[in-house]
Chain A
Amino acid sequence: MIGVRDLSVRFGPINALDSVGIDIRPGTIHALAGENGSGKSTLLKVLGGAQAPSAGTVVLDGQPVSFPDPARAAAAGVGLIFQELSLFPHLSGYSNIFIGHEPSRLGFLQFKQLNRQADKLVEEMGLPRPDLRLPVSELSVAEQQVVEILKCLCRQPKIILFDEPTASLTQREIKPVLSIMKRLRDQGYTVVFVSHYLEEVFEVADRITVLRDGKVTLDDDMAHIYREKILSAMLGRALDEFYPSRRAGPLAEPCLELENAHADGIEPLSLKVRKGEILGVAGAVGSGSRAFGEMLGGLRPMRGGAMRLEGRAAAFRNPARALQAGVAYVPEDRRVDALLLDLSIATNMSLPLVAAPKSRLVGAGGFLRLGQERMLVDEAVQHSNVKPSNPRLPARALSGGNQQKVVLGRWFLHDRPCLVLNNPTKGVDVGSKAEIYRQIADLADSGHTIILISNYNPELIGTADRIIAFREGRLVATFEKGEATEDALLATTMGGDGSASGAQEMP
C-alpha cells in the first residue's frame, strides 16, 4: 500500500499541494482527476521520487519513506511514467527501455539478453508490438507510449504511476492502453493514473481522488460516483454548458476554397469553408487530417490545385505567409512547437502580433510599444483565464492546460480570420475545455472560420457545424451538423468495420 500524509508542495507563492492525504489500495486502479494546475502531476512526482515535498511524508506499506530521486523510488517498486514522454529520440526502443540499468557482464552490455527480456515482457503483457529496433523518433506516439510502459515495467515495479497516458492518443489507440492498465491490475500491480477524460475513469478505475487547488475534494470508490459528482468536486461548481450553443450560424460567403488541392500525404480534395463556420476534421494518426491542417497553415507545401482565401489566390510557402494572408496554425504539441518555455507569458502571448508586419505593437524604427503591449497582454490573460495570471512568469511554470490557454490567447491578440486548431484541448481539463469551446464558438459567431482538427470525436460532434473525415490521405466523408454520430465517425476514420485495421495505416 502506498499513500501520502499531510503532503504539501510549494513553488514560491504557489501551493501546488496543500496537506493532502491519500491511501492507494494494492491491486486497484486509482484515478486522479482535477483541473489543470490542481496538483495531479506534482502528486505523482512526489510518489515517484521526482519532486521533493515541502512538508509531509510518503507512506509505503505502513512505513514513512522518502525518495530523493526516481531511481530510489524505482528500487522500492514505484515506477513513474511522466506526462511528457521522456525517451531519447535517437536511441532504439530497446536501448531506451534499458537505459540506466543495463544488465552487463564485466562492463559489456548483454544485448541479446536485454532484447530477449524486453520481448518476453511484451509477450507476457500482451502489449501491441512496436519495432523496438528502430530509433523511437520513428515510432508513433502510441508506440512510444508502449516503450515508456516497457521501460517502467522492466524495472519490476509493484506500483505504476501514469500521468495522462492517453492525452496524445487517438481513440483507437486509447483502447489498448486502457486494457493494459486493466491487465496490470489483474496481475496484481497497483495502477495510479491521471486523466481528463471521465469516460476513461468510469471504464477502468476502482477508486477516484479529485484535487482542486492542491486539496482533495473527493476521494471515493467508483461505485458511489457519478459524473456530476466528479465535475462539481473538480470545478467547485456545476458545469452548466459543456458544448456551447451558437448565437449565429455560418455566413453565406466562403472564406476558404480548395480545388483539387493536394500535398504530400493528402490526395486532391475540393472544399468550401464559409465564414463563421466551425469545420471539424476527424481522422486517425497518419490519415491526412494533420497534413491537411499543415497545408492550410503553410507548413506543408501544396503540390498542386488551387486555394483561395477570401477570394484571393493563396499558396503559402511558409507560416509567415499564411499568417499575413490570414490563416493561423496552432500546433498540437505546445511545448515543442508553440511555446517559448523560458520566456514570460507576456512575450509568449504577444509574439505573433509583434512579428506581424505593420503591427500595432511596433512603432517607427522597429521599436516596441511596451506600455501598450503590457495593457493588451493583461487583457488577453484575463480573457483567456490563464492562472496564475501574472504575465511575467515564465511559461514553463504553468500547468499544461494553462499553457494551452496562453497559446490560444495569441490569436485573441493577433486577430486572424481563419484559425487552424490541431487538438486544442489535448491535456486540458474539463472546465477549461468548456472555456475553450466557448472561445471557439465566440470566434465563429464573430465571423471567423475555424478548422478544428481533433482526435476526440465527441468534441467534434459537440462543436462543429460540419465534419470531414480523412482516411489514408483521402477525404472520405462529410457529415453535416446533426448527421455525425460517434459510431459513424469511428467507423469512417477506421475503415469500415471499426476494428483492428490499425497498424498499416500509420506512416
Chain B
Amino acid sequence: MNTQVSERAGFRSGLIAFLNSSLVAAVLILLVIAFSLAAPAFMSTNNVQTLLASVAVIAVLSVGQTFVIITAGIDLSQGAVVGLTGVMGAGAMGLAPGSGGIVLGIVVALITGTAVGLLNGVLTAYTRVPAFIVTLGTLSIMGGAALLVTGGEPIYMLPAAVNSFGTNSVGVFPNIILVSIVLAVMGHVLLGRTRFGRSVYAIGSNPRAAALSGLPVRRNIVTVFTLSGFLSAVGGLLLTSYVNSALPTAGQNYELDSIAAVVIGGGSLFGGQGTVWSSMLGVLLIGVLNNGTDLVGVSSYSQTIILGCVVIGAVFVDSFRKRVAV
C-alpha cells in the first residue's frame, strides 16, 4: 500500500463523510423548495416560527436519544417523562407565588426527569434486563404516575411569565427552539470532543473492548440514560410553556419521533453510529414533512404513513452508504 493510495482513501472518506450527512440535508432542502412552491405560505415568518416551535421538544429529546442509541440502548420512556415532568413542574409552580414558584417548578421537573433517567440507567447497566424492557416499563410507570398525580386533569393555572416565554420569539426563532439549539450544540460538542463522548461510541461499538481499555462501562451507561431523562424534563418544561398548560398525556409517543429522528440521521440501533448534528437534520426533516404536508392539505392520517415510509427508506438507503468511522 503506497502513500498515494492511502491519501486518496483519505480524500474519498472525506467525500463520503460529506455526502453522508448531506444526503439528509439534500432531501431536506428539496422538500423545503417543493413545499414553498406548492404552498407559498410555507416560507412565511409565521409558518417558519410555527414549524420551529413544533420541533423544539423533539429536538431536545433527540439529543438525549442520540446518546442512548449510540451506546446501543434505547429510551422509550422519554414521552412519559415529558408528561410527568410537565405536570410536576406546573403543579410545583402553583405552590409559591411569582418567580419563586417558577424556579421551584423548574427544579422539581428537572429533578424528576433526572431521577427517572438515573433509574433507567441503573437498571440497564446493573441488571440483565435490556434497555428496551426497562424503559418500556418506566414508560408505563411514569405515564401512570402522571395520571395519578393529576387525577387525569390538565393543569391550567400557570404563571403568566411561563407562557410569554413559551410563545415569544427572537426574530423567526421562537424562544423554545433557541433553548433546543443551545442544548444541541452542547450535546454535539460533548459527543464529538470529550472523553465522555468517545466512551459513548466505544461502549456502543464493543462494550467488552471498552472495558478492557479501562472505561467504566456501567457508569457511562448510567450517565447516558440520566442525561436523556434530564433532557426529557427540559422537553416537558418547554412543552408546558408552549401550550400554557400541562397535560399528563402531553408527551405521548414523543419517543417514537425522537427515535425516528436519530435513525433518519444515520444513528444505528446496534450502537456506535450517529451524531447529534445528523439527528437534528432528522428532526427538521420530520418537522418539515409534517408542516408542509399540512399546508398542502394532506390529512394527518396520511402524515404518519409518510413518516413511517421515510424512516424505513432512510435506513434502507443508509445500508448502501459507506460509513465513515469516528
Do residues B326 and A319 form an inter-chain contact, with CB atoms below 8 A?
no
Tally of contact residues, B, Cβ under 8 A: 36
Given A338-B209, A355-B195, A394-B325, A389 contacting B273 (CB threshold 8 A): no
- Asked whether any CB of chain A lies closer than 8 Å to the CB of B321, the reply is no
Do residues B198 and A347 form an inter-chain contact, with CB atoms below 8 A?
yes
Given A340-B205, A389-B6, A355 contacting B326 (CB threshold 8 A): no
| Chain A residue with the shortest CB-CB distance to B271 | A342
Given A347-B202, A367-B193, A340 contacting B272 (CB threshold 8 A): yes
Smallest distance from the beta carbon of A420 to chain B beta carbons, Å? 11
- Over the window 44-86 of chain A, the binary record of Cβ atoms lying under 8 Å from chain B Cβ atoms (1 yes, 0 no) is 0000000000000000000000000000000000000000000
- Asked whether any CB of chain A lies closer than 8 Å to the CB of B211, the reply is yes
| Chain B residue with the shortest CB-CB distance to A334 | B209
- Asked whether any CB of chain A lies closer than 8 Å to the CB of B13, the reply is yes
Do residues B213 and A352 form an inter-chain contact, with CB atoms below 8 A?
yes
Given A13-B12, A323-B214, A347 contacting B201 (CB threshold 8 A): yes
Smallest distance from the beta carbon of B39 to chain A beta carbons, Å? 41
Instruction: Please report which residues of chain B, range 193-211, place their CB below 8 angstroms from some CB of chain A when the two chains form the complex.
Output: 193-196, 198-199, 201-202, 205-206, 208-211
- Asked whether any CB of chain B lies closer than 8 Å to the CB of A198, the reply is no
Do residues B5 and A343 form an inter-chain contact, with CB atoms below 8 A?
no
Residues in A with CB closer than 8 Å to B1 are 14, 387-389
Do residues B195 and A354 form an inter-chain contact, with CB atoms below 8 A?
yes
- Asked whether any CB of chain A lies closer than 8 Å to the CB of B309, the reply is no
Q: How many A-B residue pairs have CB under 8 A?
A: 123
Smallest distance from the beta carbon of A494 to chain B beta carbons, Å? 30
Residues in B with CB closer than 8 Å to A297 are 212
Residues in A with CB closer than 8 Å to B202 are 340, 343, 347, 351, 355
- Asked whether any CB of chain B lies closer than 8 Å to the CB of A337, the reply is yes
Smallest distance from the beta carbon of A384 to chain B beta carbons, Å? 14
Do residues A392 and B213 form an inter-chain contact, with CB atoms below 8 A?
no
Do residues A341 and B212 form an inter-chain contact, with CB atoms below 8 A?
no
Residues in B with CB closer than 8 Å to A320 are 211, 214-216
Given A319-B212, A342-B272, A392-B13, A355 contacting B199 (CB threshold 8 A): yes
Residues in B with CB closer than 8 Å to A387 are 1
Do residues B212 and A338 form an inter-chain contact, with CB atoms below 8 A?
yes
Do residues B6 and A347 form an inter-chain contact, with CB atoms below 8 A?
no
Do residues A366 and B214 form an inter-chain contact, with CB atoms below 8 A?
no
Residues in B with CB closer than 8 Å to A323 are 213-214
- Asked whether any CB of chain A lies closer than 8 Å to the CB of B10, the reply is yes
- Distance between Cα atoms of A389 and B272 in the complex (Å): 22
- Distance between Cα atoms of A392 and B16 in the complex (Å): 12
Cβ 8 A contact of A393, one of B206, B210, B325: B325
- Distance between Cα atoms of A167 and B146 in the complex (Å): 58
Given A362-B195, A368-B198, A392-B10, A342 contacting B212 (CB threshold 8 A): no
Smallest distance from the beta carbon of B240 to chain A beta carbons, Å? 31
Residues in A with CB closer than 8 Å to B7 are 390
Do residues A410 and B326 form an inter-chain contact, with CB atoms below 8 A?
no
- Distance between Cα atoms of A336 and B206 in the complex (Å): 8
- Asked whether any CB of chain B lies closer than 8 Å to the CB of A100, the reply is no
Do residues A366 and B9 form an inter-chain contact, with CB atoms below 8 A?
no
- Distance between Cα atoms of A183 and B6 in the complex (Å): 44
- Asked whether any CB of chain B lies closer than 8 Å to the CB of A339, the reply is yes
- Distance between Cα atoms of A464 and B291 in the complex (Å): 70
Do residues A393 and B212 form an inter-chain contact, with CB atoms below 8 A?
no
- Asked whether any CB of chain B lies closer than 8 Å to the CB of A370, the reply is yes
Instruction: Please report which residues of chain B, range 115-132, place their CB below 8 angstroms from some CB of chain A when the two chains form the complex.
Output: none
- Asked whether any CB of chain B lies closer than 8 Å to the CB of A496, the reply is no
Q: Interface on chain A toward B: helix, strand, loop, or mixed SS?
A: mixed
Residues in B with CB closer than 8 Å to A389 are 1, 3, 6
Residues in B with CB closer than 8 Å to A390 are 6-7, 9-10, 13
- Distance between Cα atoms of A389 and B196 in the complex (Å): 27
Instruction: Please report which residues of chain A, range 24-60, place their CB below 8 angstroms from some CB of chain B when the two chains form the complex.
Output: none
Do residues A343 and B195 form an inter-chain contact, with CB atoms below 8 A?
no
Residues in A with CB closer than 8 Å to B194 are 365-368
| Chain A residue with the shortest CB-CB distance to B205 | A340
- Over the window 313-353 of chain A, the binary record of Cβ atoms lying under 8 Å from chain B Cβ atoms (1 yes, 0 no) is 00000111001100001010000111111111101000110
Given A323-B214, A343-B201, A355-B214, A392 contacting B195 (CB threshold 8 A): no
Do residues A394 and B12 form an inter-chain contact, with CB atoms below 8 A?
no
Best-surrounded residue of B9, B202, B211, B325 (most CB of chain A within 10 A): B325
Smallest distance from the beta carbon of B261 to chain A beta carbons, Å? 21
Smallest distance from the beta carbon of B1 to chain A beta carbons, Å? 4
- Asked whether any CB of chain A lies closer than 8 Å to the CB of B317, the reply is no
Do residues A13 and B206 form an inter-chain contact, with CB atoms below 8 A?
no
- Asked whether any CB of chain A lies closer than 8 Å to the CB of B324, the reply is yes
Do residues B206 and A340 form an inter-chain contact, with CB atoms below 8 A?
yes
Do residues A347 and B214 form an inter-chain contact, with CB atoms below 8 A?
no
Residues in B with CB closer than 8 Å to A477 are none
Smallest distance from the beta carbon of A304 to chain B beta carbons, Å? 24
- Asked whether any CB of chain B lies closer than 8 Å to the CB of A356, the reply is yes
Residues in B with CB closer than 8 Å to A388 are 1, 5-6, 9
Smallest distance from the beta carbon of B127 to chain A beta carbons, Å? 18
- Asked whether any CB of chain B lies closer than 8 Å to the CB of A12, the reply is yes
| Chain A residue with the shortest CB-CB distance to B272 | A342
Do residues A342 and B195 form an inter-chain contact, with CB atoms below 8 A?
no
Residues in A with CB closer than 8 Å to B208 are 336-337
- Distance between Cα atoms of A435 and B97 in the complex (Å): 74
Do residues B272 and A343 form an inter-chain contact, with CB atoms below 8 A?
yes
- Distance between Cα atoms of A392 and B323 in the complex (Å): 11
| Chain A residue with the shortest CB-CB distance to B322 | A12
Smallest distance from the beta carbon of A176 to chain B beta carbons, Å? 30
Do residues B211 and A319 form an inter-chain contact, with CB atoms below 8 A?
yes
Residues in A with CB closer than 8 Å to B209 are 337-340, 351
Residues in A with CB closer than 8 Å to B3 are 389
Residues in A with CB closer than 8 Å to B10 are 390, 392
Smallest distance from the beta carbon of A137 to chain B beta carbons, Å? 15
Smallest distance from the beta carbon of B67 to chain A beta carbons, Å? 14
Do residues B213 and A366 form an inter-chain contact, with CB atoms below 8 A?
no
Given A340-B206, A362-B195, A393-B13, A355 contacting B325 (CB threshold 8 A): no
Do residues A340 and B214 form an inter-chain contact, with CB atoms below 8 A?
no
Residues in A with CB closer than 8 Å to B323 are 342, 394
Smallest distance from the beta carbon of A249 to chain B beta carbons, Å? 30
Chain A to chain B: the 9 pairs with minimum beta-carbon distance, closest first:
A344-B325, A340-B205, A394-B325, A323-B214, A390-B6, A355-B214, A352-B213, A320-B214, A366-B194
Q: A341-B206, A387-B1 are in contact. List 20 more A-B contacts (CB 8 A).
A: A13-B8, A13-B9, A13-B12, A14-B9, A323-B213, A337-B212, A339-B206, A341-B205, A343-B201, A343-B205, A351-B202, A351-B209, A355-B213, A355-B215, A388-B5, A388-B6, A389-B6, A390-B9, A390-B10, A392-B325
B residues with CB within 8 A of A: 1, 3, 5-10, 12-13, 193-196, 198-199, 201-202, 205-206, 208-216, 272-273, 322-326
A residues with CB within 8 A of B: 12-14, 297, 299, 318-320, 323-324, 329, 331, 336-345, 347, 351-352, 354-356, 359, 362, 365-368, 370, 387-390, 392-395, 410
Q: List 15 A-B contacts (CB under 8 A).
A: A13-B12, A323-B213, A340-B206, A340-B210, A341-B205, A343-B326, A354-B198, A355-B214, A366-B196, A389-B6, A390-B7, A392-B10, A392-B325, A393-B9, A395-B325
